[in-house]
Amino acid sequence: MPMQPMSDRAEPTARGAGYCVFDTQLGVCGIAWSERGLTRLQLPEADPQATMRRLRAGAGGEAPSSEPPPRWVAGLIGELRRYFAGERVEFTDVAIDLAGANEFQHKLYDLTRAVGWGRTTTYGELARQAGDPGASRAVGQAMGHNPVPIIIPCHRVLAAGRKIGGFSAYGGAVTKERLLALEGVYPGDGTPPLPGLLPGR
């Protein structure tokens, strides 16, 4: 059966919870939520079907529904579309449900959310702020397990020397560079890349 069009269709997983996919200028993204807040933001995969599979797996594999997402989710989708179109949007007020994250991860995610649009930090600096200067590797692992990229802006966390570092989303470091470029940030020597270096959608 062909996949449904990417039209913000919501799929319920439990009372007050659901997920949907939506188009952006970066590609098809996915979003999931609970009664307590956002639980997942899926960046584009190789194709829309792959994005839906990843999102559905994280949401328990429930069957599709034609019900629209809640108003606050629809509003967030609109803000994400604006962000991926290059507008300055802050997501610091978005409620997040981080069930399953440990205390150290919660601390790191709070610190990362404080890194504003167009700014960056490093794994080492986050480790220092979290009270464990030797925990750079653990910081990298926490960023890799971040369930809501952009909202918790792990793309703004660089390696030492302003090197790009890793990124767990599809496309890896290239996707990270594209997200930073949306905010006018160019790691390394700070020089914008030549046209075409960071491919579009």
For the annotated catalytic residues, the residue numbers are 154
CA dist 161 and 158 (Å) reads 8
Q: H or E element: which one contains 22?
A: strand 18-23
Given CA atoms 4, 6, 10, 12 in this order, what sign does their dihedral have?
positive
CA dist 196 and 189 (Å) reads 18
At 96, give phi and psi (nearest 5°): -125, 135
Identify which of 190, 155, 195 has the alpha carbon closest to the alpha carbon of residue 176. Answer: 155
| Count of CA atoms in the C-beta half-sphere (13 A) of 157 | 28
